[in-house]
Homo-oligomer: A and B are copies of this chain.
Amino acid sequence: MELKQAREQLMALQAKMSAYGHALSLLNYDGDTAAPAGTAENRAHTLGVLSEETYKLSTAKETVELLEFLDANKEQLTEAEQRMVWLMLKDIRFQQKIPMDEYIAYQQLIVESQAVWHKAKATSDFALFEPYLEKMFATTKKFAQYADPDMDPYDYWLNEYEPGISQATCDRFFAQLREHLVPLIKKVSEQPQVDNASIKGHFDVQAQDKLSHYLIGVIGLDPEHVGLSTTEHPFTTSLGSHLDERITTHYYEEDYTYSMFSVIHEGGHALYDTGSNRELAFTVLDGGTSMGIHESQSRFYENILGRSKAFIQFIFPKLQELFPEHLREYTWLDVYKAVNRVEPSLIRTEADEVTYSLHVMIRYEIEKAVLKGSLKIHDLPGEWNRLYKEYLGIDVPDDKHGVLQDSHWSFGAIGYFPSYALGSAYGAQFLKKMKETIDTDAAISQGDFSKINAWNKEHIWQHGRTKTPDQILNDTLGEPFDPAVYLEYLENKCKDIYGI
């Protein structure tokens, strides 16, 4: 094989893979947005065929030979090419270590398990889901052992979702959070609660939709390349490359801030994805480098910027214009307090900034204990409820609002949760660094995101997956990751809202 030709083939292979990825993402996106309710079977047929084709392409003998040839000649490749080859070979080598029949059984398990989870959640019936969850944890553990017999299985998966992290990192991180946040939340709960009447009422969906499009413009997304739809649960997806990004929201008539912060959160993901350098499109280096860095951006825009005093002051006149009757009675300070209300609650995705990480920690502790073998699947609901009582001080009424609330385990995403909390903490440290050169409050109070976005693009977005999360953190911060910055940020927020 000629090196020049092999390098061209590497690009052609990725272009082809991204086309299949585009089709698969679009089928799922269509299923969540425009598709009629009875078309899932039809879509499953096509998803099945195209997934198989993608799998065949990515594991074909020619593909493996190409990548191994390039790997053997890696000193003649650019850094970006080396990383492409490394990322693609990593997936192939994982595949090669899993016996084919077990891999197929696992794919089948995911499909069934998701369907059963939906039913179990709807009826709050953990016993129904239990055998699937049992198999899911067992398979996850076994696959990790196939992939790297010398590595602790949970460390293996943590490192898959957020390269560079381990239980050691997470233990330290969560211990520090627990130590500060549990007493902080207790102290908050002893204060008079802030009023949230300024965000509750009846808010016209069309006015909320106008707000969404306004926000897309304000935070600096390019509407030529970023679409907005509505779905049951908001999400962000890239179609084929960062040149076509879609975000979704959900409008609740009784609270305009749900969609408002969903749009800013998903907008943060979309800013990151669409900020990839143009030449990364149609390669495996396009888009975000890890879940943690992704959440650092989405939660940065949603919480750190979006729930800041400066931003609420800026957006308040627009809110008054859109919801004039309701907001006549309130000030921007009312809204600021309402959107920063701290209140232990049952559902992770609805949690406030301060309690959020504890929801994640509970999932982390459970995953860790199950994979270590010290917690049985059968005992998950009890342990879940015990931890919610211990850390958040609340009683879980049923498994629907408890252990069955998240979909992640039903599709095998075990080790994924910690990245949500890590991302939040990264964000706080990015803010601190950013403030060395940018007066973020002054910019935000003018609705001017240009300097902030330029900073994020320079340090984070443009690099796509060319850098690891570690490299992003080191190169951007110039100092080690320090959760104390995040804790200080949260403590200041509580001081500001509750005077403690």
Residue positions of A touching B, CB distance < 8 A? 15-16, 18-20, 22-23, 26-27, 30, 33-39, 41-43, 45-46, 48-50, 53, 222-227, 229, 239-241, 243-244, 246, 281-282
Minimal Cβ-Cβ distance residue in B for A281: B42
Q: Are the CB atoms of B27 and A244 closer together than 8 Å?
A: no
Q: Are the CB atoms of A34 and B243 closer together than 8 Å?
A: no
Contacts of A33 in B (CB 8 A): 34
Q: Are the CB atoms of B27 and A23 closer together than 8 Å?
A: yes
Q: Are the CB atoms of B39 and A244 closer together than 8 Å?
A: yes
Instruction: Identify which of B22, B39, B224 contacts A37 (C-beta below 8 A).
Output: B224
Instruction: Identify which of B39, B50, B224 contacts A36 (C-beta below 8 A).
Output: B224
Number of copies: 2
Q: Are the CB atoms of B36 and A227 closer together than 8 Å?
A: yes
Q: Are the CB atoms of B227 and A49 closer together than 8 Å?
A: no
Q: Given known contacts A18-B46, A34-B227, A42-B281, what 11 new A-B pairs fall within 8 Å (CB)?
A: A23-B26, A23-B50, A26-B27, A34-B229, A34-B246, A36-B244, A37-B224, A39-B224, A39-B227, A42-B241, A46-B240
Q: Are the CB atoms of B42 and A244 closer together than 8 Å?
A: yes
User: Max chain B CB contacts within 10 Å: which of A33, A39, A229?
Assistant: A39
In angstroms, Cα B227 to Cα A37, docked, is 9
* Residue contacts A-B, CB under 8 angstroms, 14 given: A19-B50, A20-B50, A22-B45, A23-B27, A30-B30, A34-B34, A35-B227, A36-B223, A36-B227, A36-B244, A38-B222, A38-B243, A39-B224, A39-B244
Contacts of A16 in B (CB 8 A): 49
Contacts of A20 in B (CB 8 A): 49-50
Contacts of A53 in B (CB 8 A): 53
Instruction: Identify which of B35, B229, B281 contacts A244 (C-beta below 8 A).
Output: B35
Contacts of A225 in B (CB 8 A): 36, 38-39
Contacts of A30 in B (CB 8 A): 26, 30, 239
Contacts of A34 in B (CB 8 A): 33-34, 227, 229, 246
Q: Are the CB atoms of B38 and A224 closer together than 8 Å?
A: yes
Chain B: minimal CB distance from A55 (Å): 14
Q: Are the CB atoms of A42 and B246 closer together than 8 Å?
A: no
Contacts of A241 in B (CB 8 A): 42, 45
Minimal Cβ-Cβ distance residue in B for A39: B244
Contacts of A223 in B (CB 8 A): 36-37
User: Max chain B CB contacts within 10 Å: which of A18, A42, A281?
Assistant: A42
Contacts of A41 in B (CB 8 A): 243
Instruction: Identify which of B27, B36, B48, B227 contacts A226 (C-beta below 8 A).
Output: B36
Chain B: minimal CB distance from A248 (Å): 10
Q: Are the CB atoms of B39 and A22 closer together than 8 Å?
A: no
Chain B: minimal CB distance from A34 (Å): 6
Contacts of A19 in B (CB 8 A): 45-46, 48-50
Q: Are the CB atoms of A43 and B244 closer together than 8 Å?
A: yes
Chain B: minimal CB distance from A365 (Å): 41
Chain B: minimal CB distance from A10 (Å): 16
Q: Are the CB atoms of A23 and B46 closer together than 8 Å?
A: yes
